[in-house]
Structures are given as structure tokens and as C-alpha cells.
């Protein structure tokens, strides 16, 4: 029987679809999570002969983000099939909040031959995780067994600092990282580090093709390309890549991507005239690889799509693309109470009970990444009931409406949920319609933002609990 939503706030109920609860779990309450070589093999079962074992969930935790690694692998394979070229798993920002180590290793198992992060600090952490997991460093062409790692935001430093023994740029070269360069000052620092390290830096020249963010401007490119050629002749650097980023790939009919491509080809000509011959050209992230085949080039960068979310739900939803959401944020109710009609809820009294109501307390707040913009709007599922946050989101907790405490005749109604019941903030919809599960896209719409922000801002104190094929058993909900 399909679940029907009670209407605690007077809004219409909806029936959701979901793939069901994924099997088994391993929880990690660190922001940057680790794993070993085989992601599936490392996820220990939490099921005993007598039932689920909650030992994988840190004993003091009341909430969790359940991360479906099989969904991640599925999404990676699907995007790779669409692109038809090698792909980079973009795992910046703790893998968009999903956990760096497990996601990186899952992506490699699904066929990624590159891993990409923004900040150099996270690239060094990633390299350490890969080394710990026994993942080889590539000697020739990268592969899932020996991937390349690219970092594109480097700390600012002068050549003297870059050459110091404890320089982070020297650490990057020791870690065999590919690095991005966009300015002469960056190049000077990288050359100094390479000289001091007695090695050759692998560089990707980033050009600005219309984003007006990172990347060399057209007027600066000839001088930068000439300087790069001199550094190549010296043996200090090897320019292996030419890349850029699309500003409106999620607007397929805007014409913007076509303008980017024209500027990219112009930059490519300047680079070639300087005597540089990068072998890897990459421009497309998820939106580009989905909707702009001409932007796929030699390598694509799978970011938001890897996590089961569409870069433009208004164009094509993740479900329509065949993607599977990988994150489910859930928590137990820690208190259920009855309040009188007119009683204000949370700071500022911005919401008051329209009738005698049942409300529940969920121990998640803006310190955990729940946007304050979700006040009196963020959807929450409890069993088969879809409801919402009422009142303002607090630092560590929110209140949700559980519906009326009296019927039309004035008779008391029992609470529709109890302490310990699971509240789901977002996840993959329930295919059987028995559980109300809001989606990340619904949260983004409610908060006036994008799905990227909803998952990426999830706080470090929320344990990530990993499920997926090969784990076995059923994960224990809070």
C-alpha cells in the first residue's frame, strides 16, 4: 500500500519513489574519510545472527548520512558510457560531502582514471589515502589501478618560499600530483619548487574561456605560453594538459558553450604556436559531458552527476538521466511533544501552531549544514508522512510538525511518531511509496539554492555510513 501523507501544515501530500534501503554499513565520523583498496571489500557487515548491530554508528551519534557506494559506481559508469572518453572523478570538498576516501576508491573501481580536487591541501590528503590503500602511482597512462590526481588551486608564494624544503609545492611534487597554472607568478613558484626538488612538474595550463574566474586571460596567454616553453626546455615542467571550465553548460541552448569552445580553440592555437603540445584537453564537467558532446575532448570531469544529482534539474532531472542519489540524511526523533494552538516554535516565534499540534525534535541544525533558509520550509519525511520544519533552524536542532493533536470533534489524537523514529531530510525516493523521502532537489528549491550546496555543506560531525554491493546485511537505522 502506498504511503499517504498526513497534512500537518495544510500542504498537499505526495507519494515518492525510491530504490529502497541499501545493504550494510560502515560509519566514519571524520570529515575526510578513509578506506582501503577495494571499497566494497572494506565495508564490514553490521548484521549479526540476531539482527542489526549498531556498533558501526558512533555510540553518541543521533544522526547519519548514509552513502550508497553502489549508486556512486553506477553513476560513474553511466556518465562514462555517455562521454565515451576517459573520466576524472571530481572529489573536491570531501567528495561533495560524501567522504573523500571511500568515494575516490569507489570511482576508481568504476573506471575513473583521474581524480580531481580543488585545494592542494585536500590533494595531499587524497594522495596519502591512496598510498595507504595501496593504490599505485602511474608510470605511463593512468588507470583505475594507478590514477592521476589533479589539483587546481595552489597557495600563493614567492619562488624563494616555494623552493624551501617544507614548501607545499615541493610536497605536491613529491606526491606526484598534476597541478594547474594560470599566471606567470604561479609558474615562477612552480619552477622554483621543481628545481629545488630536482624533478619535473606536470602542469595543466588553465585558460579563461568566458567564466571570468580562474585561468589565463587571452591577452596574457602568449607571454605565459612562452615562459612555459622556456621551463619545458629547462626540464622544470612538462605541460601535459590544456583546460578550462564552462560557465553555462547547464543551459544547453544558451549558446555560451559554443563561445567557450571558440575561445578554447584560439587559446589552443596560441599554445601550439609557442611550441607546447599538451596531450590532454579537457573542458567538460557533468553538464558539458551530458549536453555538449563537442566539449568532451580527451577527458571529462564528473562532479555532481557522480553523486546522483543533475547539474540542471529544470533541464533534466537526475532520475530522467538514470542517476541514483548517493546520500541519505536521516536522524532519530529525540523528543515528541504536544503544543497548544497559538504556541510559537523556535527563535523569534516565526511559526505558531494553527491548532493543537504534535511536534518532534530532530537533532540537526545549521552547524550540521542544514541551511537556516530551511526555516518553516525544509521538507522532512517520517515513515509514510511528509512534513516540514516549523520555526527557525537552530544551530543543533530543528522542530518538525507532526500534525494535529485533536480531530474535528475535539477528541485527542495520538502522536503519529514516537521518540526513536527515523526522520529523513533527504535521500533517494522510495520506489514502493511506503516511505516519504524528500529529495536534495526539493531541499534546494525550498532553500533557494542548488543541489550542490545542500550535500556539500553537510557538517563534519555527521557520521558518513557506507553501504553498497558486497557489504552484506542490512544497515541499522538510528
| Per-residue pLDDT at 391 | 98
Bridge partners, residue 387, by sequence: 380
Nearest to 33 by CA among 151, 145, 128, 174: 128
Type and span of the H or E element at 390: strand 385-390
Could you tell me how many residues make up the chain? 478
Phi and psi at residue 360, in whole multiples of 5°?
-125, 150
Nearest to 83 by CA among 403, 314, 300, 355: 300
Show the cell assigned to 26.
560502515
CB atoms within 10 A of CB 41: 12
Type and span of the H or E element at 104: helix 100-109
| Per-residue pLDDT at 363 | 98
pLDDT in tens, 421-454: 999 999 999 888 889 999 999 999 999 999 999 9
Task: Report whether 65 contacts 462 (CB < 8 A).
Answer: yes
Task: Report whether 166 contacts 143 (CB < 8 A).
Answer: no
Structure pTM? Answer: 0.88
What spatial distance separates the first Cα and last Cα of the chain, rounded to whole Å? 24
pLDDT beneath 50, residues of the chain? 1-7, 9-25, 29-56, 470-478
| Per-residue pLDDT at 286 | 98
Kindly list the distances between the CA atom of residue 67 and the CA atoms of 75, 211, 466, in Å, as whole numbers in the listed order.
13, 32, 5
Q: How far apart are CA 404 and CA 420, in angstroms?
A: 20
CB atoms within 10 A of CB 365: 18
Phi and psi at residue 405, in whole multiples of 5°?
-100, -5
Residue tagged 552484506 (cell numbers) = 472
CB atoms within 10 A of CB 57: 22
Please compute Rg for the chain using Cα positions: 25
Catalytic site positions: 92, 347
Pairing of strands 422-426, 327-332: antiparallel
Pairing of strands 26-28, 464-467: antiparallel
| Cα–Cα–Cα angle for 261, 262, 264, rounded to 5 degrees | 60
| Per-residue pLDDT at 273 | 98
Task: Report whether 264 contacts 245 (CB < 8 A).
Answer: no
pLDDT in tens, 16-73: 333 333 344 466 544 334 333 333 333 333 333 333 333 345 667 899 999 999 999 9
Bridge partners, residue 331, by sequence: 63, 423
Amino acid at each position: 500500500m502506498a504511503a499517504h501523507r498526513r497534512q500537518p501544515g495544510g500542504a498537499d501530500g505526495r507519494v515518492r519513489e525510491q530504490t529502497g534501503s541499501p545493504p550494510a554499513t560502515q560509519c566514519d565520523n571524520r570529515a575526510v574519510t578513509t578506506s582501503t583498496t577495494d571499497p566494497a571489500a572494506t565495508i564490514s557487515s553490521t548484521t549479526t545472527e540476531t539482527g542489526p548491530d549498531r556498533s558501526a554508528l558512533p555510540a553518541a551519534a543521533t544522526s547519519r548520512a548514509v552513502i550508497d557506494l553502489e549508486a556512486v559506481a553506477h553513476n560513474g559508469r553511466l556518465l562514462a558510457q555517455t562521454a565515451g572518453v576517459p573520466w576524472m572523478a571530481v572529489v573536491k570538498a570531501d567528495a561533495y560531502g560524501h567522504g573523500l576516501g571511500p568515494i575516490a576508491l569507489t570511482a576508481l573501481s568504476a573506471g575513473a582514471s583521474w581524480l580531481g580536487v580543488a585545494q592542494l591541501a585536500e590533494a595531499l590528503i587524497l594522495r596519502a589515502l591512496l598510498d595507504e590503500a595501496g593504490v599505485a602511482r602511474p608510470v605511463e597512462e593512468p588507470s583505475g589501478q594507478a590514477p592521476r590526481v589533479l589539483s587546481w588551486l595552489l597557495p600563493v608564494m614567492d619562488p624563494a618560499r616555494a623552493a624551501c624544503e617544507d614548501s607545499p609545492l615541493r610536497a605536491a611534487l613529491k606526491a606526484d600530483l598534476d597541478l594547474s597554472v594560470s599566471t606567470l607568478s604561479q609558474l615562477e613558484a612552480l619552477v622554483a619548487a621543481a628545481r629545488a626538488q630536482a624533478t619535473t612538474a606536470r602542469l595543466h595550463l588553465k585558460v579563461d574561456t568566458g567564466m571570468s574566474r580562474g585561468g589565463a586571460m587571452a591577452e596574457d596567454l602568449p607571454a605565459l605560453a612562452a615562459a612555459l616553453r622556456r621551463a619545458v626546455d629547462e626540464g622544470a615542467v612538462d605541460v601535459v594538459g590544456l583546460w578550462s571550465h564552462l560557465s553555462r553548460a547547464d543551459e544547453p541552448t544558451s549558446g555560451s558553450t559554443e563561445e567557450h569552445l571558440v575561445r578554447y580553440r584560439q587559446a589552443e592555437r596560441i599554445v601550439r604556436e609557442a611550441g607546447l603540445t599538451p596531450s590532454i584537453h579537457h573542458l567538460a564537467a557533468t553538464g558539458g559531458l551530458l549536453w555538449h558532446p563537442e566539449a568532451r575532448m580527451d577527458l571529462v570531469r564528473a562532479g555532481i552527476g557522480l553523486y546522483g544529482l543533475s547539474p540542471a534539474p529544470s533541464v533534466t532531472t537526475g532520475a530522467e538521466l538514470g542517476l541514483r542519489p548517493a546520500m541519505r540524511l536521516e536522524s532519530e526523533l529525540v523528543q515528541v511533544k504536544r503544543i497548544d494552538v497559538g504556541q510559537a516554535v523556535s527563535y523569534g516565534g516565526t511559526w505558531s501552531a494553527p491548532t493543537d499540534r504534535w511536534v518532534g525534535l530532530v537533532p540537526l541544525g545549521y552547524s550540521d549544514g542544514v541551511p537556516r533558509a530551511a526555516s518553516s520550509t525544509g521538507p522532512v519525511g517520517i515513515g509514510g508522512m511528509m512534513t516540514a520544519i516549523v520555526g527557525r533552524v537552530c544551530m543543533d536542532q530543528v522542530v518538525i510538525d507532526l500534525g494535529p493533536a485533536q480531530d474535528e470533534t475535539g477528541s485527542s489524537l495520538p502522536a503519529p511518531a514516537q521518540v526513536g523514529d527515523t526522520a529523513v531530510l533527504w535521500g533517494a525516493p522510495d520506489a514502493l511509496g511506503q516511505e516519504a523521502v524528500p529529495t536534495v532537489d526539493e531541499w534546494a528549491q525550498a532553500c533557494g539554492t542548488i543541489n550542490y550546496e545542500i550535500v556539500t555543506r553537510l557538517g563534519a560531525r555527521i557520521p558518513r555510513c557506507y553501504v553498497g554491493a558486497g557489504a552484506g546485511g542490512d544497515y541499522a537505522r538510528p
